[in-house]
């Protein structure tokens, strides 16, 4: 008999139910007249209870398929469970059966008994939760992580590269996973609190903007802290690395003598001594207060209050530079400048700036403010080869720094901003203007009164110059200005072997002085300059003005003037390379190009003439026509190849030399005509060595190489020789010595040039005025040609006669007249038309392939131009 039958068999009647059969509640109700009740009892499930007020109470489980009553169950109503009535046989079987454990379903353990009035909505929601929880299967933690990883990846869909390029597009956890950040640095997720209707309602009432702001602020704070931490680690590593690579500081106090330079001539004689030889270090207490005040007011007004760097000064300089749109002020302190000048190179790199900051902090921690200022004033470079305030004072004013006046102190302090630019030896007026700015700074800083400032500005400093005041100092100043590019800035004294010839230098000075004394006043010419060099570019003499005592401004290398017709040889060289010949005919007639019409010097036109005659007589109209035919850009390329590096614009007047250049550069550009067609680099230093004998620099090599074919060289030398024999340069003709050259005159006779050469020497002469005022009908064929002829006569006496390089046969050009243009001419086509494979390294630098043409002679401009008077060029 089943247990269900046994339990159902204990009834309230005297009769027994047969084994295997149980009576239904309907039968019981019919006998007793009382209804059965359905109840849910913990541990037993759903049971049927009989009436408790009369008769025996029966208990029975609900059978499958029976309709369950929906009457709510309340635990407050007592429903006693009747004991089971078992007979002896059943009791024995029950005792032998082991106790069966009561298993309570997991879902029912957390569900308390509820009141009958509990809303049906809550009961339905709870039942759904129970069913959902029962449906879940327990998963191990590792499996959950593996299952979550692909879901996160699919949800995020962003790699580390995308995160870097496009910004974060996923949660912080996915970004940390892509960055491989350690787990202890990842943000901890907040656990989800148990569902609480009150909390949900409070969150719903809170404004969404505040929640978003709070979340954003939390994220920003976290990322800011993380960035600061990693940034600190990175900065610390950079500082540590640069601290290990700091330069040595043992020579810091070696200021008894600034770096000295001994300039030696080509014959071994001493030209000049500069730098440390002028004076030793001066303690700060021995310097006048106005000199110290001038330096502080100009360079570092808060020197005694900062710790090596000045944030206020940096911010002020940045604001001024931003407002003015240019780099007009700097924020470096005196300590930073000392670190840069003494220990570091002047290159502009981040590494150098970090070293500068570290050394500044080290100097501030190691030395007092007075010691730092003493070091600075005795080690700083102040132009013209002078290192330190004492050397500069003796260099410019021929006195000790202990005795300088207020105007002189202001001029020295003004040099600190840009020593080469504001050096009084370069431009005394610019140096005085800078000194006036320094004086104004001193008044604002309270170092001097307004009355003292007015007196200093009204009586500016006068340049007394170096002890040796002859013209060799022009050459010495130039050599010292280019010395750092050869030897840097070594800490030891140097011996520089130059190319200057003392004999040539004295002759050049004498010739200029005599010519200006003889003709300068009546011709309205107050200044002149001369440069002489060998055909390989070695400068033998340089005179930059009438008197070095009166003006240290070097007009040979610093003054930029228009060369005028002295530029025409490069125009005709481009024409020869393009296939024309000296016998090519063009028409001297008025022309109009872009509403501009050139005029000849005599304002007359002579009609058809050859290029040979046009260059000899310096005809402007034909030079412009040739430039337009060849192309202005091709003319510029030819001039660049020869050595003219000054800015040139492709204007129609380019052929007449309307750009500006220096005498040294123009003279060097004529050197290829004298040396066989090789470009040169003008130089004045052959060797640099320390006093101990260590070689720092030694010149080797001959320059850029060939830039002109032998045929073009012969044609140009033939035409330029005729300029001196029968053209505008007849005044410069030498007796019994082949020479060639070209005159040049700028508009209104403001500048007059003559550049000439022999096989042994190339010499350029310039005559004019410093204020660019017109002279009295001075041309390149008058006073400059006379100075050139006088200098060459004195210096070339006794030198063997040699012919100029290159051969020219007019018959060869005549035979080729009317023929095809020379396609094989190495410079006959624009650079754009040349193949890249046919271009050498020098070609890519200087604009052409320098190779000799071995083809047949070129035609004489086949098909002469059909130019007619009045033809307009567009």
- Structure tokens of 162? 């995308």
- For residue 686, how many other CB atoms are within 10 A of its CB? 16
pLDDT of 367 over the 60 cut: yes
Of these residues, 565, 581, 618, 653, which one is catalytic?
565
Mention every residue, 6+ apart, whose C-beta is less than 8 A from residue 344.
247, 352, 355, 356, 359
What would the mean pLDDT of 94-123 be, rounded to a whole number? 55
Under a CB-based contact definition with an 8 Å cutoff, are residues 724 and 741 in contact? Answer: yes
Mean pLDDT of 808-829: 48
What pLDDT sits at residue 244? 59
Confidence band (pLDDT; 50, 70, 90) for 154?
Answer: very low
Assess contact for 558 and 426: CB atoms under 8 A: yes
Task: Say if residues 785 and 511 touch (Cβ distance below 8 Å).
Answer: no
Q: Percentage of the chain with pLDDT > 90?
A: 37
Q: For residue 657, give both structure tokens.
A: 């030399």
Whether 725 is a known active-site residue: answer no
Q: Express each pLDDT in 632-645 by its tens digit.
A: 999 999 999 999 99
User: Which residue, among 262, 276, 275, 273, has the nearest Cα to 468 in the 3D structure?
Assistant: 273
Q: Tokens 């992580």 correspond to what residue?
A: 145
Find which of 275-289, 314-328, 578-592 is predicted with most confidence, using mean pLDDT: 578-592
pLDDT tens by residue, 162-194: 554 555 554 444 444 444 445 544 555 555 554
- The contacts of residue 13 (CB under 8 Å, 6+ apart) are 31
- The position carrying tokens 């190849």 is 641
CA distances from 134 to 137, 194, 735 (A): 8, 18, 124
Alpha-carbon torsion (683, 666, 535, 732), positive or negative: negative
Q: In whole angstroms, what is the distance from residue 358 CA to residue 250 CA?
A: 16
Among 12-26, 118-132, 670-684, 793-807, the least confident range: 12-26
Strands 872-873, 592-593: pairing kind: parallel
Question: How confident is residue 826, by pLDDT bands cut at 50, 70 and 90?
Answer: very low
Round to the nearest angstrom and report the end-to-end CA distance of the chain: 128
User: What pLDDT shows up at residue 124?
Assistant: 75
Residue pair 611/657 in contact by the 8 Å Cβ criterion? no
**Element (DSSP H or E) covering residue 543:** strand 539-543
Q: How far apart, in whole angstroms, are the C-alpha atoms of residue 671 and residue 225?
A: 68
Average pLDDT over residues 743-747: 93
How much is the mean pLDDT over the chain?
Answer: 75
pLDDT surpassing 70 at residue 674: yes
The least confident of 269-283, 532-546, 694-708 is 269-283
| pLDDT value at residue 860 | 34
Instruction: Determine the pLDDT at residue 228.
Output: 85
Per residue in 2-21, pLDDT (tens digit) is 344 444 443 444 444 444 44
Q: Read off the pLDDT band of 839 (50, 70, 90).
A: very low
Calpha distance 669→672 (Å, rounded) = 7
Question: Average pLDDT in the 40-60 region?
Answer: 56
Q: Distances in Å between the alpha carbon of 421 and those of 276, 401, 428? A: 21, 21, 10
Residue 214 and residue 294: Cα distance in Å, rounded? 56
**Of 99-103, 252-256, 445-449, 462-466, which one has max mean pLDDT?**
445-449
Q: What was the pLDDT predicted at 87? A: 57
Per-residue pLDDT, 216:
81
- In the chain, % of residues over pLDDT 70: 63
What phi, psi does 162 have (nearest 5°)? -65, -40
- CA-wise closest residue to 306 among 339, 343, 331: 331
Of residues 808 and 748, more confidently modeled: 748
Strand partners, 766: 529, 753
Strand segments (E) across 419-509: 494-498
Q: Which stretch of 76-90, 403-417, 616-630 has the lowest confidence by average pLDDT?
A: 76-90
The predicted model gives 575-587 an average pLDDT of: 93
**Residue bearing the bigger pLDDT, 861 or 55:** 55
Q: Alpha-carbon distance 660 to 666, whole Å?
A: 10
Residue 272 binned pLDDT confidence (cut-offs 50, 70, 90): confident
Give the tokens for residue 718.
Answer: 């033939």
Indicate the burial class of 226 (C-beta count within 10 angstroms; 0-12, 13-18, 19 or more): middle
* Confidence band of 113 (pLDDT split at 50, 70, 90): very low
For 385: left if phi > 0, alpha if psi spans -120 to 50, otherwise beta; the answer is left
Q: Do residues 574 and 638 lie in contact, with contact meaning Cβ atoms separated by under 8 Å?
A: yes
Coil, strand, or helix at residue 871?
coil
Q: Residue 604's pLDDT is what?
A: 86
Measured from the Cβ of residue 257, the count of other Cβ atoms closer than 10 Å reads 19
565 as an active site residue: the answer is yes
Residues with Cβ within 8 Å of 70's Cβ and at least 6 positions away in sequence, in order, are none
Q: Contact 737/721 with Cβ under 8 angstroms?
A: no
Phi/psi region, residue 383 (left: phi>0; alpha: psi -120 to 50; beta: rest), is: left
Helix (H) or strand (E) run with residue 588 in it: strand 585-588
Instruction: Specify whether the CB–CB gap between 686 and 497 falls below 8 A.
Output: yes
CA-to-CA distance for 867 and 584, rounded, in angstroms? 13
Which is nearest to 672 in space by CA: 848, 481, 841, 474? 848
Distance separating alpha carbons of residues 870 and 874, to the nearest angstrom: 13
Q: Which residue has the higher pLDDT, 649 or 216?
A: 649
pLDDT at site 836: 41
The pLDDT tens digits for 404-438 are: 999 999 999 999 888 878 888 777 889 999 999 99
C-alpha of 169 from chain center = 35
Q: Please, are residues 352 and 345 in contact by the beta-carbon 8 Å criterion?
A: yes
**For 65-74, 504-513, 681-690, which range has the lowest pLDDT when averaged over its residues?**
65-74
Supply the DSSP symbol for 118: S
* Cβ–Cβ under 8 Å, residues 267 and 251: no
User: Are the beta carbons of 501 and 795 closer than 8 angstroms?
Assistant: no
More confident residue, 310 or 244: 310
Average pLDDT over residues 355-360: 74
Run of H or E residues at 435: helix 428-445
Model-wide pTM > 0.75: no
Which among 276, 260, 247 is positioned nearest to 339, based on CA atoms?
A: 247
Whole-angstrom Cα distance, residue 562 to residue 480? 27
pLDDT score, position 643: 93
**Residue 490: what pLDDT?**
67
Best CA proximity match to 319, nearest among 638, 423, 327: 327
> What pLDDT is stored for residue 506 in this prediction?
93
pLDDT of 279 strictly over 70: no
Q: Report whether 667 contacts 539 (CB < 8 A).
A: no
Among residues 856, 821, 867, which one has the least CA distance to residue 585?
A: 867
Each residue's pLDDT tens digit, 190-238? 555 545 555 555 555 556 667 778 778 888 888 888 888 888 877 777 7
- 234-248: average pLDDT: 65
The pLDDT of residue 277: 45
CA-only gyration radius of the chain, Å:
52
- Distant-in-sequence, close-in-space partners of 223: CB < 8 Å, separation ≥ 6: none
Tell me how far apart the alpha carbons of residues 233 and 350 are, in angstroms, rounded to a whole number.
18
**340 contacts 346 by C-beta, under 8 angstroms:** yes
Q: Which of 22, 178, 299, 749 is catalytic?
A: 299
For 742, the 3-state DSSP assignment is strand
Question: pLDDT grade, residue 321 (50/70/90)?
Answer: low
Which tokens hold the place of 434?
Answer: 């800078």
Determine which helix (DSSP H) or strand (DSSP E) holds 678, and give its type and residue range: strand 678-679
Measured CA distances, 267 to 31, 271, 473, 809 (Å): 152, 10, 17, 41
Confidence of residue 53 (pLDDT cuts 50, 70, 90): very low
pLDDT at 91: 58
User: Which whole number is the average pLDDT over 526-530?
Assistant: 96
CB crowding 14-32: b at 16 or more within 10 Å, else e = eeebeeeebbebeebeeeb
């Amino acid at each position: 008999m089943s247990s269900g039958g046994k339990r159902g068999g204990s009834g309230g009647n005297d009769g027994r139910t047969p084994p295997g059969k149980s009576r239904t509640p309907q039968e019981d109700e019919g006998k007793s007249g009382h209804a059965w009740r359905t109840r849910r009892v913990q541990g037993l499930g759903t049971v049927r209870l009989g009436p408790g007020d009369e008769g025996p109470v029966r208990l029975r489980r609900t059978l499958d398929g029976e309709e369950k009553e929906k009457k709510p169950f309340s635990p407050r109503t007592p429903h006693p469970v009747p004991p089971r009535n078992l007979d002896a046989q059943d009791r024995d079987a029950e005792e032998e059966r082991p106790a069966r454990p009561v298993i309570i379903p997991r879902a029912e353990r957390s569900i308390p008994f509820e009141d009958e009035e509990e809303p049906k909505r809550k009961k339905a929601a709870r039942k759904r939760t129970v069913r959902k929880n029962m449906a879940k299967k327990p998963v191990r933690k590792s499996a959950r992580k593996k299952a979550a990883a692909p879901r996160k990846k699919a949800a995020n869909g962003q790699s580390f590269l995308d995160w870097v390029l496009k910004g974060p597009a996923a949660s912080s956890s996915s970004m940390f996973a892509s960055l491989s950040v350690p787990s202890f640095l990842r943000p901890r997720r907040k656990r989800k609190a148990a569902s609480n209707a009150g909390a949900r309602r409070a969150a719903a009432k809170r404004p969404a903007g505040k929640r978003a702001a709070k979340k954003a602020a939390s994220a920003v704070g976290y990322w800011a802290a993380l960035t600061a931490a990693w940034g600190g680690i990175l900065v610390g590593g950079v500082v540590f690395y640069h601290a290990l690579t700091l330069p040595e500081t043992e020579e810091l106090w070696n200021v008894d003598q600034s770096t000295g330079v001994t300039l030696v001539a080509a014959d071994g004689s001493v030209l000049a001594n500069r730098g440390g030889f002028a004076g030793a270090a001066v303690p700060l207490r021995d310097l006048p207060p106005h000199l110290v005040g001038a330096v502080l007011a100009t360079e570092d007004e808060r020197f005694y209050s900062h710790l090596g760097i000045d944030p206020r000064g940096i911010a002020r300089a940045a604001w001024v530079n931003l407002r003015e749109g240019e780099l007009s002020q700097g924020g470096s302190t005196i300590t930073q400048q000392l670190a840069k000048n003494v220990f570091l190179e002047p290159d502009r790199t981040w590494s150098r700036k970090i070293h500068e900051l570290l050394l500044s902090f080290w100097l501030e921690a190691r030395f007092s403010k007075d010691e730092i200022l003493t070091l600075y004033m005795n080690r700083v470079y102040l132009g013209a080869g002078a290192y330190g305030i004492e050397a500069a004072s003796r260099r410019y004013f021929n006195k000790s720094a202990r005795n300088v006046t207020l105007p002189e102190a202001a001029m020295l302090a003004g040099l600190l901003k840009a020593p080469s630019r504001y050096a009084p030896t370069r431009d005394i007026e610019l140096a005085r203007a800078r000194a006036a700015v320094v004086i104004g700074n001193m008044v604002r800083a309270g170092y001097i009164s307004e009355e003292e400032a007015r007196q200093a500005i009204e009586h500016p400093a006068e340049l007394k110059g170096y002890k040796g005041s002859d013209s060799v100092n022009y050459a010495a100043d130039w050599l010292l200005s280019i010395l750092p590019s050869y030897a840097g800035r070594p800490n030891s004294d140097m011996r520089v072997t130059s190319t200057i010839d003392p004999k040539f230098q004295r002759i050049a000075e004498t010739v200029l002085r005599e010519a200006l004394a003889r003709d300068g006043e009546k011709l309205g010419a107050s200044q002149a300059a001369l440069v002489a060099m060998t055909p390989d570019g070695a400068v033998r003499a340089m005179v930059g003005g009438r008197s070095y005592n009166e003006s240290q401004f070097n007009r040979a290398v610093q003054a930029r003037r228009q060369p005028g017709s002295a530029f025409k040889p490069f125009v005709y060289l481009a024409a020869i390379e393009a296939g024309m010949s000296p016998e090519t005919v063009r028409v001297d007639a008025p022309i109009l190009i872009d509403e501009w019409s050139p005029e000849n010097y005599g304002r007359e036109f002579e009609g058809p003439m050859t290029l040979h005659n046009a260059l000899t007589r310096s005809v402007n109209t034909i030079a412009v026509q040739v430039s337009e035919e060849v192309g202005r850009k091709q003319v510029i390329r030819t001039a660049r190849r020869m050595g003219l590096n000054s800015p040139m614009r492709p204007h129609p007047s380019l052929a007449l030399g309307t750009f500006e250049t220096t005498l040294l550069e123009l003279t060097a550009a004529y050197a290829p005509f004298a040396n066989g067609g090789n470009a040169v680099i003008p130089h004045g230093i052959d060797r640099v060595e320390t006093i101990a004998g260590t070689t720092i620099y030694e010149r080797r090599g001959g320059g850029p190489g060939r830039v002109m074919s032998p045929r073009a060289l012969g044609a140009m030398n033939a035409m330029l020789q005729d300029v001196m024999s029968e053209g505008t340069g007849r005044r410069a003709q030498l007796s019994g010595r082949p020479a060639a050259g070209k005159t040049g005159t700028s508009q209104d006779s403001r500048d007059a040039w003559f550049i000439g050469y022999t096989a042994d020497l190339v010499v350029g002469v310039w005559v004019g005025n410093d204020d660019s005022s017109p002279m009295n009908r001075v041309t390149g064929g008058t006073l400059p040609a006379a100075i050139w002829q006088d200098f060459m006569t004195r210096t070339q006496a006794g030198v063997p006669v040699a012919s100029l390089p290159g051969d020219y046969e007019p018959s060869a050009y005549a035979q080729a007249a009317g023929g095809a243009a020379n396609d094989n001419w190495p410079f006959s086509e624009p650079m754009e038309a040349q193949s890249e494979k046919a271009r050498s390294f020098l070609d890519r630098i200087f604009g052409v392939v320098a190779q000799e043409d071995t083809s047949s002679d070129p035609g004489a401009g086949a098909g002469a131009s059909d130019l007619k008077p009045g033809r307009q060029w567009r």
